[in-house]
């Protein structure tokens, strides 16, 4: 395993080499962007499939600290493509590979920022799953890393590449429902009890040290691996930072206000008693400098929908409202789209992997959708809501400094940045 000093040294050399890519040199012998996927369980399989199926890219490397998942994924990819991918247990070894142009992350949330920063330092472009960060502070460092190292970084909130959403938000911003004063994000997905699992020695097939990475060391527990880590603060961010960040991203994209000036959140873990720590029910309110509002709701138990939406978005304006991708006037009559724009006209096809690959090839971040900064703002809203929930109080925010101010700011600001485990620190770049 590399030491931090060895990794930075290798990264510096890679950044020099990456300069040739920035000038438009073709990627690989077959002119495809060569992708390494880190984190192969669950969502990672979508990354492997997405980059394999798109003609402009290929998956040449796989990485996972679960040796069973790594072996099975490599076997399946070889059967599909006829090519054996390189395999790694430690992502830092993958970063060193000269045959990888971009790294795609589908790890647990607590690894997203550090892995992505390491990739930027190593001269690789980055596709990173949602949420972009595990805490507010580290998201800003990744946005700074993308800029400092000249890398394309795209956040895995796919609505940014969806023609329906792109067009709906265009129309809303053009004033078709008047002045927008409020947005609502909805995350209503049933989440049942995860029960209780005791601490125990980690299994032989898992590198528990690497799995924990930046998080403080805990004994292994079966409830962490491979999905229920979402409901523990050390690794996940609850459903507001899991499914909810997709809808949060649409809300902040549509409003375009940046950071809020105030946040409040109430909720709890209702309906059962289990080992999970995060809320299964939350109502968060965000207030912006101009008085606009964003209300975000997480409902993890049995529930009705809202205007036909259960996992979706609503926007309210002075002359009407938007539910999902449809716009309505004040009387509830749908407003037809007068322009018949094709996906080509909108610059997106609905394939978020394709969007990323095209931006990597062109070296134009604006051709990507969901930049590191976009992802930072969306993910930070989830984190701010969780901090208000955990502290049980409303909090004021300085949107320029991205810090809490006023009453309660001291304990709240501590929660903007975790204490990293030695050897797994996110570097300060902003």
Distance CA 311, CA 237 (A): 17
Torsion (CA) 346, 352, 356, 361 in degrees, nearest 10: -60
β strands within 269-377, DSSP E: 281-287, 293-299, 311-317, 320-323, 326-329
Helix or strand run (H / E) with residue 266: strand 262-268
pLDDT given at position 24: 42
- Which residues contact residue 307 at a Cβ distance below 8 angstroms, ignoring those fewer than 6 apart? 314, 323, 324
pLDDT given at position 28: 53
pLDDT given at position 12: 41
Question: Could you report the per-residue pLDDT of 25-63, keeping only the tens digit for each?
Answer: 445 556 899 999 999 999 999 999 999 999 999 999 999
Query: DSSP alpha helices (H): ranges in 288-430?
Result: 343-346, 352-362, 372-391, 409-414
Residue 390 corresponds to which tokens in the numbers above? 């955990």
- Which residues contact residue 167 at a Cβ distance below 8 angstroms, ignoring those fewer than 6 apart? 325, 337, 341, 346
Q: Which residues of the chain have pLDDT under 70?
A: 1-30
Tell me the percentage of the chain whose pLDDT exceeds 70: 93
User: Can you spell out the DSSP letters for 127-181?
Assistant: EEPSSS-SSHHHHHHHHHHHHHHT--EEES-GGGG-HHHHHHHHHHHTTTT-SEE
pLDDT given at position 285: 98
Reported pTM = 0.93
User: Can you spell out the DSSP letters for 389-407?
Assistant: HHHTS-EEEETTTTEEEST
Residue 270 corresponds to which tokens in the numbers above? 């209702």
pLDDT given at position 4: 42
Query: DSSP alpha helices (H): ranges in 256-371?
Result: 343-346, 352-362
- Residue ranges and CATH numbers for the domains of the chain are 4-159 (3.40.50.720), 162-196+220-341+371-414 (3.30.360.10)
pLDDT given at position 254: 98
Q: Which residue has the tokens 């997405």?
A: 50
Distance CA 76, CA 403 (A): 46
Pairing of strands 180-188, 153-155: unpaired
Residue 214 corresponds to which tokens in the numbers above? 């930046």
Phi, psi (degrees; rounded to nearest 5) at 31: 65, 20
pLDDT given at position 367: 87
pLDDT given at position 340: 87
Expressed in percent and rounded to 5, the helix, strand and coil fractions of the chain are 35, 20, 45
Residue 203 corresponds to which tokens in the numbers above? 């299994």
What are the residues facing 398 on neighbouring strands?
A: 403
Distances (CA, A) of 148 to 144, 350, 375: 6, 29, 17
Distance CA 133, CA 373 (A): 11
pLDDT given at position 95: 96
DSSP assignment, residue 332?
Answer: S
pLDDT given at position 207: 98
Distance CA 374, CA 326 (A): 23
Residue 104 corresponds to which tokens in the numbers above? 């795609």
Average pLDDT, the chain: 94
């Amino acid at each position: 395993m590399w030491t931090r000093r060895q990794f930075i040294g290798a990264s510096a050399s890679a950044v020099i080499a990456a300069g040739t890519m920035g000038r438009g040199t073709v990627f690989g012998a077959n002119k495809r962007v060569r992708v390494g996927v880190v984190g192969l369980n669950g969502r990672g399989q979508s990354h492997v499939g997405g980059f394999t199926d798109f003609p402009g890219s290929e998956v040449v490397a796989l990485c996972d600290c679960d040796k069973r998942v790594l072996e099975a994924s490599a076997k399946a990819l070889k059967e599909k493509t006829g090519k054996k991918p390189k395999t790694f247990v430690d992502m830092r070894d993958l970063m060193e590979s000269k045959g990888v142009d971009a790294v795609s992350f589908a790890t647990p949330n607590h690894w997203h920022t550090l892995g992505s920063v390491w990739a930027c330092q190593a001269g690789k472009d980055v596709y990173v799953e949602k949420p972009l960060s595990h805490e507010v502070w580290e998201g800003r460092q990744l946005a700074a890393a993308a800029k400092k190292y000249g890398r394309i970084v795209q956040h895995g909130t796919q609505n940014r590449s969806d023609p329906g959403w792109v067009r709906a938000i265009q129309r809303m911003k053009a004033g078709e429902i008047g002045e927008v004063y409020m947005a609502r994000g909805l995350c209503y997905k049933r989440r049942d009890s995860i029960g209780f699992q005791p601490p125990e020695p980690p299994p032989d097939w898992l590198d528990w040290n690497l799995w924990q990475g930046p998080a403080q060391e805990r004994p292994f527990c079966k409830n962490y691996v491979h999905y229920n880590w979402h409901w523990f603060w050390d690794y996940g961010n609850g459903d507001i930072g899991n499914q909810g960040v997709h809808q949060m991203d649409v809300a902040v994209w549509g409003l375009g206000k940046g950071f809020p000036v105030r946040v409040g959140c109430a909720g709890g873990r209702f309906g059962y008693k289990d080992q999970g720590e995060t809320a299964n029910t939350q109502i968060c309110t965000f207030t912006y400098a101009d008085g606009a509002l964003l209300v975000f709701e997480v409902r993890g138990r049995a529930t009705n929908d809202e205007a036909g939406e259960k996992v979706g978005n609503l926007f309210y304006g002075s002359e009407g409202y938007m539910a999902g991708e449809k716009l309505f006037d004040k009387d509830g009559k749908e407003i037809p789209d007068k322009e018949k724009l094709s996906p080509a006209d909108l610059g997106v096809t609905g394939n978020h992997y394709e969007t990323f690959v095209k931006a990597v090839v062109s070296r134009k971040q604006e051709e990507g959708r969901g930049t590191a900064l976009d992802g930072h703002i969306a993910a930070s809203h989830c984190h701010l809501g969780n901090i208000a929930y955990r502290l049980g109080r409303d909090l004021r925010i300085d949107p320029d400094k991205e810090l809490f101010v006023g009453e309660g700011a001291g304990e709240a600001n501590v929660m903007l940045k975790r204490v990293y485990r030695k050897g797994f620190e996110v570097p300060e770049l902003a």
